Structure 1
Amino acid sequence: MNEIVLSDADIQSIINGRDVIKKVGDQKIKIRQSYLKDMAAPVINDRFQIKDTVIENQVKAFRSSMKNSYELGG
């Protein structure tokens, strides 16, 4: 069985939309993230999770701004 080993940098590249090219024997293999989103969340709550911190921070800022709009006396 062939095995493709990915470094943390390789995994980060894939998560950020870049392709990783690995060589298995004489053949080059391109590894990329799926174009489709998963239909369901993972069943297991893993220690390490993939998050888009830019979007997450924008959502937090939006929620915070909306909270201020609806506070009493605001």
Structure 2
Amino acid sequence: MKHSDFAIGMEFVMSGARWRCTDVGTRTVIAVKLDAPDESWYAGPPFAVAEHCLDENDIEACEPDDHSGGSGHPSGH
């Protein structure tokens, strides 16, 4: 993917795991890994799970998540 492909709330796949974008910076993307035991942990900010800063190398390794419908919204709507 490219930096311009990201939007807050969109879901994507990186290293075999699903992630949700929580912020888009000038050169980075901030995201949470969707592996918490409870969906309420993703209510934020602040989030009950760690946010990760993805740089240009990480961004290139990302793929759109087919389950999110590519709409940029977690529910696919």
Query: Considering the TM-score relative to the shorter chain, is it more than 0.5?
Result: no
- Which is richer in helix? 1
TM-score of the superposed pair, with normalisation by structure 2:
0.26
TM-score of the superposed pair, with normalisation by structure 1:
0.27
Structure having the higher Rg: 1
